[in-house]
Chain A
Amino acid sequence: MWFLIPARNLTRNVRRTALSLAIIGLGAALSFVVLGFVFSSIDIIQDSLLKRYSNVQIARQSVWEEGSSELSKPITSEDFIRLKEIIKETPEIANFSSQLSFLGLLVKNSTSQPVRIIAVEPGSSVINYADSLISGRGLESGDRKTALIGETLSEKLEIATEDTLRVIVDRGDGESKIGTLKVAGVYRAQSEEVEGRQIYIPLPYGQELAGSDVIGKVAVSLENRNTTDRVANELEKKFSAASLPLSTRTWKELSSFYSMLRGFFTLIFGFLVIVVSVLVFFIVLQVLTMSFLERSREIGTVRALGTLQGEVFRMFTVESLILGVLGGIIGLGVGVLIALVFNGIGFNWTPPGSVEPVILKVKMSWRNTWPPFLISLLATVISSIYPAYRMSKTDIVDALRVEE
């Protein structure tokens, strides 16, 4: 009974039902497309960041503290051997590579710039700069006295690829080491702060400059990026069990840019959700209120026949629930069509910190399916509550007096 009248009302008032479904569907479709676009953009940025940071980095706990030097707190050879065993026992880990970072002074002619030198295993697939190079090439196996420098730094010191620079490293024991570096390539990063202060060199030469064969960090790449947090936690537990003084940082923790960007996208989508929900809410409220008021006499009749107030309320909310579900499904269908057209056209976008443009897509996954559906459903059902309540409380005699 509580389904019969709502269902009949929807199927037999075709124009009104179509209008309501169009409004709800439009809201759902819009949310689906925007959310798919946001997720796709985030995925592209994640890919770019993973190439730079890998999934998880491992170092001594104190290294993560501000101003700490990896040289004074390196991963010892003994700890590195045990760490490699743990990595071997962790099936989710696809690959790893070592690195060492320390401070130095980069000098070209009479200009100098303090920099953070990150010595990495050249040619390793764990950290990959290929898509951020704007000139030259990346570090390759067999490279020794070569360097990758940031775009900002190259502009500041007027450095081009193939230029030779001097580098001065303070080893921390009062002794300094002077070396030479040939610029292999120039990279672009998400921030000028990184581009202006960070250079990459091959690990063996870095260790030579630092006067030690230690390593400061181990970068780990995973088979599946979604397991990052879980694997990082498992590694922490294993380090603790093995009494290793090591700690992990995920790529999300290492990139403040990502948290900022994600926060920004969340804000945009949150705003859109509020706008869409409010629009759907008020338009559907208007449509339902009109529709319910037109049925005052019908409500008076069913109440006079013995229908309870709660049953009348339920009839109206069931009607809006059916509308919400159908509107959500239709909206998702329309959203998928829009996404297919958008993806078919193929719009290019260069994400921050990348050089190569990527094809921007509207992602189609469960993650951007259920929120628009739920939003349109909730907005519809909530918008029906007040008119449904009002109608259920209508005085029977007054309702029966209403002219049709």
Chain B
Amino acid sequence: MITDNKMEEETCEHNDGALIRTEDLTRIYTMGSEKIYGMNSVNFSVDRGDFVVINGPSGSGKSTFLNLIGCIDKPTSGEVYFGGQPISELNEKELARLRKEKIGLIFQSFNLIPVLSAYENVEYPLLLQQVDGGKRQKQVNNLLTAVGLDGMENRRPQALSGGQRQRVAIARALVGNPELVLADEPTANLDSETGEKVMELMKELNEEICVAFIVVTHDPLVSEYADRTVNILDGKLEEVSSNGQE
């Protein structure tokens, strides 16, 4: 068991509509008089427990898309629905609450807090959620074990390898029992062997605890783990395969 309640209470069979859905999602950046479409009228949805890989080259809009559905950026037009709730109706406080309770984030550069140990980095989202000490400790230890970091709890990020750091980041993303994990190029800073292990771990966790994963990458090998693969180019999404079927 990785987290306290996910596995026991929910299964991937349980599906009450799209977990996340976008409607004409558009993000325009203005550079002087020039308008650049980071995201252009994207309609997209992800169900609970999906493992979606979004492929695309640099500058195609991958990170913009993650930022928008991760509620850390606002669209120029269109809407993101999280569990049916339009997020444009949420204020800053409600958005922060949604991020800490429903969304887990994995970054390309790991983005661990350098002054905190591996344990404390994983513990941080639970501190934000004000989870009790005992329960917190149990959840953090379970996650660290699940990602294979037993015995490395007290190491600070600088004392960990790239693969270990990304494992800490994965544990941190999952510890708060999110419904959706967004991973931005999780293997980009890892060698191929470590990248493969990280992807295997993410897939395992996806299957085990029924958390939806959206992974953006330009690494074609990552698509092997996907239930669905989507290509992104110039801010537009194009479904390529579903359940591994072209």
Contact = CB atoms under 8 A, between A and B. Distances in A.
A315 to B, nearest CB: 11
Nearest to A301: B111
Nearest to A401: B63
B107 interface: yes
Interface in A346-363: none
Contact of B115 (A5, A303, A404): A5
A309 B67 CA distance: 18
B87 to A, nearest CB: 14
A304 B184 CA distance: 13
Interface in B57-111: 67, 70, 72-73, 92-93, 96-101, 105, 107, 109, 111
Given A8-B120, A305-B100, A305-B105, A400 B111 contact: yes
Interface in A131-174: none
B218 to A, nearest CB: 18
How would you classify the secondary structure of chain A's contact residues: helix, strand, loop or mixed?
helix
Given A306-B128, A397-B72, A400-B107, A9 B99 contact: no
A4 B116 contact: yes
Contacts of A306: 96-101, 125, 128
Given A304-B105, A306-B100, A9 B115 contact: yes
A308 B73 CA distance: 15
Contact of A301 (B73, B101, B107, B115): B107
B101 A4 contact: no
Given A302-B124, A308-B96, A5 B72 contact: no
B120 A297 contact: no
Interface in A291-347: 297-298, 300-309
Interface string B165-196: 00000001000000000000000000000000
Given A306-B128, A307-B128, A12 B107 contact: no
A298 B92 CA distance: 19
Contacts of A109: none
A224 interface: no
B107 A8 contact: no
B114 interface: yes
Nearest to A10: B115
A302 B172 CA distance: 11
Contacts of A309: 92
A1 B127 CA distance: 6
A396 B72 contact: yes
Interface string A1-29: 10011001100110000000000000000
Contacts of A303: 72, 96
Contacts of A304: 70, 72, 99, 105, 111
Nearest to A12: B115
B114 A298 contact: yes
Contacts of B125: 305-306
Q: Which of A4, A9, A304, A306 gathers the greatest number of chain B CB atoms within 10 Å?
A: A306
Nearest to A308: B96
23 contacts: A4-B116, A5-B116, A8-B115, A8-B120, A12-B114, A12-B115, A298-B114, A301-B111, A302-B113, A304-B70, A304-B111, A305-B99, A305-B100, A305-B125, A306-B100, A306-B125, A307-B128, A308-B93, A308-B96, A396-B72, A397-B67, A397-B73, A400-B107
Given A8-B116, A13-B115, A400-B111, 17 more contacts: A1-B127, A1-B128, A4-B116, A4-B127, A5-B113, A8-B120, A12-B156, A297-B111, A298-B111, A303-B72, A305-B100, A305-B125, A306-B101, A306-B125, A307-B128, A308-B93, A308-B96
Interface of A: 1, 4-5, 8-9, 12-13, 297-298, 300-309, 396-397, 400, 404
Interface of B: 67, 70, 72-73, 92-93, 96-101, 105, 107, 109, 111-116, 120, 124-125, 127-128, 156, 172
- A-B pairs with lowest CB-CB distance, top 6: A306-B100, A1-B127, A8-B115, A306-B99, A301-B111, A396-B72
